[in-house]
Amino acid sequence: MGIFSNKKTDKEKKNKEEEKKESNEQKTASPASSYLNNKNILLIKAPRVTEKSQNLKILRQYIFDVDIKTNKIEVKKAIEKIYNVKVEKVRTINIPAKKRRAGVTIGKKAGYKKAIVTLKEGHQIEVIPQK
């Protein structure tokens, strides 16, 4: 076969068929299987350790920075899997990006999303601040 030939060899055909099968398997995977692939570690960025968050521990509430695209259900499942606790309620807050100015230059401070997680009675998390 020449360089400009449109004919494909048997190996190329088999490779294409295998790629199609793999992509179909990935599309039909259930959402629950994504939690088994340790994606929940990526959903929860870090615990937010502040004076206010330390005071909320009395109420069994913990604050976490989470990925902007996550929803409450994903946060709940991720926290339950990572820390082996039962979550009662999740509240999320979107903090918008803000303009910041340094002399003449104008930039933006990135926005983020945080989740306030309330645990059920008898459960607690040992939060270690990240630097």
Confidence of residue 105 (pLDDT cuts 50, 70, 90): very high
Distances (CA, A) of 21 to 7, 25, 37, 52: 22, 6, 20, 51
Q: Give SS3 for 93.
A: strand
CA distance 66 to 113: 6
The first and second tokens of residue 120, run together, are 């059920």
The mean per-residue pLDDT over the stretch 97-104 comes to 93
Question: What per-residue confidence (pLDDT) applies to 86?
Answer: 95
Q: Are 122 and 84 in contact (CB under 8 A)?
A: no
Looking at the DSSP bridge assignments, the partners of residue 63 are 116
Question: What is the percent of the chain where pLDDT is above 90?
Answer: 55
Place of tokens 């990240």: 130
Question: What per-residue confidence (pLDDT) applies to 42?
Answer: 83
Kindly give, in sequence order, each residue whose CB lies less than 8 Å from that of residue 22, ignoring residues fewer than 6 positions away: none
Give the β-pairing of 105-109 and 44-47: unpaired
CA distance 127 to 131: 13
**Count of Cβ atoms closer than 10 Å to residue 54 Cβ:** 11
pLDDT, one tens digit per residue, over 15-69 is 777 777 666 655 544 444 444 456 666 888 989 999 999 999 999 999 999 999 9
Going along the chain from its start, the domains and CATH numbers come out as 10-119 (3.30.70.330)
Question: What is the percent of the chain where pLDDT is above 70?
Answer: 71
Tell me the pTM.
Answer: 0.65
